[in-house]
Structure 1
Amino acid sequence: MYAIPSRKRLSQEIIPGLYDRERASLQERVKKATAVCLTTDGWTSQTATTFLSVSCHFIENYKMVSCLLDCFEFSDGHASENLAEELLRVAKEWDVGDKVVCCVTDDAANVTKAVKTLNWAHQPCLAHTIYLVVRDALEVMKPAVDKVKAIVDFFHRSTTATRKLRSTQQQMGMPELKLERECITRWNSTFHMLKRILESKEAVVSTLAVLFAPVDPLSQEEWEVLQEACAVLELFEQVTVEISADSHVTASKMLILCNGVQRRTAEHQTRVATGTAKELVDALCASLDRKFHRMEHTALLLETAILDPRFKTLVFNDDRAVDEALQRITAAAAARSSQPTPPPGDEAGERTVEASDVWAFFEERVSRDATRRNPAANATLEVRSYIDEPLCQRSADPLSWWETKASIYPRLTQVTMRRLCIVATSVPPEIIFSKAGQINSERRNRISSSKLRQLVFLNANLK
């Protein structure tokens, strides 16, 4: 007996109503955040319409929350002034203009300048940086990669070849794996393509020989190059996967992961045997040195790593940079002393026992004692005590740790909430645009920009 809504009612009533309710609900949650990190990126639809998305990341009840604030048509040109104006508009609409502690974007000059125009701290997307490093380095083995692309395209075009490959895999007792294609905007798709063809090497070689395929086969040396290259690129794949999670603290890992990938890549310089693989490793090492040589002096990253109870100061090589970061953290904690904090032992901010008159004299002494204390001294004690705490396990949730220590380090906890909300990448907007591409598909390319905006928002935020 259910009356199915008509297309008109869905488009004009149900979706807009759902969008308004979800947006209002999300606005209330975002307003309660003490600090936010923004990520932004652009996308061009099939109808050559440019869209700009702005995502927000904050800590709610000691849990990392990521949400889409807006995804709107951007037709005023890509000048930094226009981008800054739109970013500021979104921040004001969501009442977070004075709460932005960092904005993470790719390395595009216009976006970087727009963020700096707004006097927001800017952090380049680590995933995009890794993409540039690997993409440029892979040029040294372009002939071998092009041959792999041609082989993969051959199997994807020919159903006969695909069936024969599957049959050969069965006969050889190998898992039936489909060859993967490369996506030019994602470096790790190239890695997955190379890794997959190596896993099916014997079956692929045999099938191409039987079918007399019109493609250039890989030489034995090229197979060896692919094998050594995948061993090196596996490191970058691990880092990309680790930093792309939007429900976990990620920025505090950046220094450790970057130092780790630099050192492990350098170790491969003495392990690889083929000349092309050596060129690849040398190119990767040179690019990593250029991109990451000043990372340990980035204030936000230093402070974020120190305030992660899994790492603290053990990940740094420069003691002076650590001392300066601790001084900034202490000063920030002292500045937070003037803000109200929950009474000790009562994280909810409500006393369980009502104070009576007989305790009045004691409460007055407590108040006078609190006013006599030096906020800077208290903040210093908190920082020192925190540093002396044993490290958490690397698999532990740092936000859960801070939840249990909030009453012990009330000032430092407030500073931490303004640091651990920072994310390492601008991957969330890219995921949103992948979904937007599925919504604004070839068969739905006449959908209006306003409707696409509502659908993308609901797709990203409805749980």
Structure 2
Amino acid sequence: MLIWRLQKRVLNFVHVPPPHCGVDIVDAIYKCLKECGLKNKVFTVSMDNASYNHSCLRFLREIFSRNRRLLCKGKLFHVRCCAHILNLLVQDGLGEIGHIIENVRESVKYINQYEARKQTFSKIVQQLQLGTKKLVIIDFPTRWNSTFQMLLCALKFKDVFPRFQGRKPNYDYLSTPEEWKNVEKVCEVLEVFNVVTNIIFDSDYPTSNFYLSEIYRVKEILNLKAMDESDFIRRMVGKMKGKFDKYWGECNLLMVVASVMDPRCKLRLAEMFFPKIYSEAETRNNIEQVRGDLYQLYMSM
């Protein structure tokens, strides 16, 4: 039985003096690949969407194209980092509802600032018999998953905050019942992103065969919440859908190839999900394009 094991190696750490530009990064990468004897063995490169990375990949593609033929005419050479794209989607969405999150964030900060406040809060929690005694999660605004965990934690104590204000009149960050309902709706959306992120990235083995189905899960929740009765949820999801269409509006060949290589899925997964992601015409074109690229990939091996 053939078992694939993911291999990770750090080849080098290279100091590239600022200001960074694509040419400088290409020189550093190519020198490293050459020294390690890997310059003709690169299949694909994954980077985030920083502007200098775009120019870097363009120059690197030109270099490799001169020395050898890239698979599928280079369609597989540059793969955008899925984690980075998911982060961009969520950050865009959260930016639309910052005022909702800010009250919760400031409440958590206020309560955790002094031990006396934490003890007062804990006593109320015990009186209400909520089980968990501490409100300890403070988020990092640049990490959406920490914001999600903070909101989830705060939701458990939504009945505690009004009683806490009664004992601490200087506490000015109390959310209204309507705002807590909005927090719940936000968490429903973020829960899907959290699950997708954990499935794809919190793993010690290759999971690229799951990418297509998980990205469809994201598309499904965005489509559903785009018709939500709440105006602020529609605004939030609208921003996220715009980012989704920008990066995944076109067929991602590598995702489909990975799912086809899974004998449980083959091309059936694409044939099932594509009509739910693209228009009828786009679905036909994408499936034909994928089938042609797969034949080309097979013949080049």
TM-score range, shorter chain: 0.7 to 0.9
Provide the C-alpha distance between the structure 1 equivalents of 2:135 and 2:12, rounded to a whole number of angstroms. 37
1:162 pairs with one of 109, 118, 122: 118
Unaligned residue ranges in structure 1 (runs of 5+): 1-59, 337-463
Match status 1:68 vs 2:16: no
Separation in structure 2 between the aligned mates of residue 320 and residue 276 of structure 1, nearest angstrom: 35
What secondary structure sits across from 2:11 in the alignment?
A: strand
TM-score (norm 2): 0.82
Deviation at 1:246, TM superposition (A): 5.0
Q: Distance in 2 between matches of 1:153 and 1:219?
A: 18
Deviation at 1:108, TM superposition (A): 0.6
Task: Name the count of aligned residue pairs.
Answer: 274
Q: Which has the higher contact order (CA 8 A, sep 6+)?
A: 1
Instruction: Measure the CA separation in 1 of the matches of 2:38 and 2:101.
Output: 46
The amino acid that maps onto 1:163 is: Q
**What is the aligned partner in structure 2 of residue 38 from structure 1?**
none
TM-superposed deviation, 1:284? 2.6
Aligned to 2:39: 97
1:243 maps to which of 200, 208, 221:
200
Q: Deviations over 1:332-373 (max 9, x none)?
A: 43444xxxxxxxxxxxxxxxxxxxxxxxxxxxxxxxxxxxxx
Q: Structure 1 residue 285 and structure 2 residue 241: aligned?
A: yes
Residues 123 and 334 of structure 1: CA distance in aligned 2, closer, same or farther (over 3 Å) = closer
Gaps of 5+ in 2: 65-76, 275-282
The answer to whether the 8 Å contact 1:112/1:122 transfers is: no
Displacement of 1:68 in angstroms is: 2.2
Distance in 2, Cα, partners of 1:324 & 1:136: 31
| 1:220 corresponds to | 177
User: 1:80: Cα distance to partner?
Assistant: 0.4
1:233 alignment counterpart:
190
**Which structure: greater strand fraction?**
1
Cα contact 1:76–1:82 (8 A) shared by 2: no
1:128-147 alignment, distance < 5 Å: 128-147=84-103
In terms of Rg, which structure is larger? 1
Q: Which amino acid aligns with 1:321?
A: N
Q: Secondary structure at the match of 2:166?
A: helix
Which one of the candidate residues 200, 221, 240 is aligned to 1:264? Answer: 221
- 2:264 is aligned to 310
Say whether the 8 Å CA contact 1:239–1:257 is kept in structure 2: yes
- Structure 2 match to 1:325: 290
CA distance in 2, matches of 1:204, 1:75: 50
One-letter amino acid of the counterpart of residue 244, structure 1: F
Distance 2:137 2:32 in 1: 39
Structure 2 residue identity aligned to 1:113: S
The equivalences for 1:29-428 within 5 A come to: 62-119=4-61, 121-174=77-130, 175-270=132-227, 272-294=228-250, 296=251, 298-316=252-270, 317=274, 318-336=283-301
1:17-36 matches, cutoff 5 A: none
* Structure (1/2) with the larger helix percentage: 2
Q: Distance in 2 between matches of 1:166 and 1:91?
A: 56
Percentage of matched positions with identical amino acids: 19
The offset of 1:315, in angstroms, is 2.4
Judged with a 3 Å threshold, the aligned counterparts in structure 2 of structure 1 residues 135 and 335 are, in CA distance, closer, same or farther, namely closer
How far apart in 2 are the matches of 1:71 and 1:166?
A: 47
CA distance in 1, matches of 2:18, 2:245: 37
**Contact 1:302–1:322 (Cα < 8 Å) also in 2:** no
